[in-house]
Structure 1
Amino acid sequence: MDSKERRKYIEELLKKNINPEKGHELAERLGVTRQIIVKDIAILRAEGKKIIATPEGYIISKEQKSIVKRVMAFSHKTGDIEDELKTIIKFGGIVEDVIVEHSLYGEIRGMLMIKTFYDIENFIKRINEYKAEPLLILTGGVHLHTVVAENEEIIKNIIKELKEKNYLISD
């Protein structure tokens, strides 16, 4: 299989799969190195494919008919991350990413794609396993999330509860 065929295979696989595909598993399946997969993904992105790298692996963005996106500003302690995410998910929201503004590097964005309580559980588990510090520690708790929902009503419910819990930064 040449590089064009391999990229076509990766694209088709990501389109049909619901679950993310890990780079090292793709590499094993295709008999190449993980670095080759990273390069293939970069080329596919450059071609305009909406491939997202999440902590669980690569996914391709599926176009949805009607979605509402909001970038929301948060401020809270590290211990509130799980509750913050659960508040968004329980109403049907999806947390696409986390964004912080760093004084040296500028905007730092981490793709999350948290859609379910299971995703939250895995995210918190990985933080603990890797002894990782979440991005919000770089900014004293201030961070942004892009939240996606099927309609405005869901967004309003999410915002209402997040405000009640004092997680949102008010205007």
Structure 2
Amino acid sequence: MNSIERRESILKSLIQSKTPLKGVEIANKYGVTRQIIVKDIAILRAKGNNIMATPDGYIINKELNKIKAIIAVNHKEEELVYEMSIVIKYGGTIEDVIVEHPLYGEIKGMLMIKNYNELNKFAEKYKKQQGRLLSVLTNGVHIHTISADTQEDINSIIDELKENGFIVSD
């Protein structure tokens, strides 16, 4: 299989997959290094494919018809799961987290968390790796892109986040 055929096969796998595909697993499948897969993904993206890298692997964003909102929030580290569970409760997806850094500008991490199972995995990974949230750079203030099926769902999410004091306001 040459590189063009491999990229076509990778794209087909991403389109058909319901879960993220890890770079190392793709590399093993094709008998190449993970670095080759990173290059293949970059080429596929350059050709206009909406491939995103998430903490769980590569996915193609199939949620283009969803209603999206960008929200500014602030919470303590221990409130992370509660904040995200509010979004999920109304059928929402937490697509990303964004912080403003004084030197680097906008720093964005793709999340694509859309159910409690994914949220629990994220929380376990965070705890296990003893990582730091991007929001530590901004004293808890950060931005999320969220999406849901309807504007009503988005409004319900925002209303409950406001009720819990998570939404940043003037």
Same-fold status (TM-score > 0.5): yes
2-structure distance, mates of 1:129, 1:63: 30
What code does the residue aligned with 2:164 have? K
Over the aligned positions, Cα root-mean-square deviation in angstroms equals: 0.8
User: Matched residue of 1:167: which SS?
Assistant: coil
**What pairs with 1:1-171 in structure 2 (closer than 5 Å)?**
1-64=1-64, 66-171=65-170
**CA–CA distance in structure 1, aligned partners of residues 63 and 146 of structure 2:** 16
Q: Distance in 2 between matches of 1:61 and 1:33?
A: 25
CA distance in structure 1 between the partners assigned to 2:2 and 2:104 by the alignment: 37
Distance 1:37 1:129 in 2: 27
Letter in 1 for 2:40: D
Distance (Å, rounded) in 2 between the aligned partners of 1:62 and 1:120 = 19
Q: Give the secondary-structure state (helix, strand or coil) at the position aligned to 1:158.
A: helix
The separation in 1 between residues aligned to 2:85 and 2:5, in whole angstroms, is: 41
Question: Helix, strand or coil: the match of 1:86?
Answer: helix
Give the number of aligned pairs: 170
Amino acid at match of 2:93: I
AA aligned opposite 1:74: V
What is the TM-score normalised by the length of structure 2? Answer: 0.98
Q: Distance in 2 between matches of 1:163 and 1:109?
A: 23
Aligned-partner residue type, residue 90 of structure 2 = F
Q: Distance in 1 between matches of 2:63 and 2:10?
A: 18
- Please, which runs of 5 or more residues in structure 1 have no aligned partner? none
Distance, in Å, in 1 between the alignment partners of 2:10 and 2:34 is 13
- The TM-score normalised by the length of structure 1 is 0.97
Deviation at 1:63, TM superposition (A): 4.8
Q: 3-state SS of the aligned residue for 2:73?
A: strand
Q: Which runs of 4+ in 1 moved over 2 A?
A: none
Q: Residue by residue, what CA displacement relative to the aligned partner does 1:129-164 show, whole Å, maximum 9, x if unpaired?
A: 111001010100000000001110001100110000
CA drift at 1:67: 1.7
Cα distance between partner residues in 2 of 1:61 and 1:5 = 22
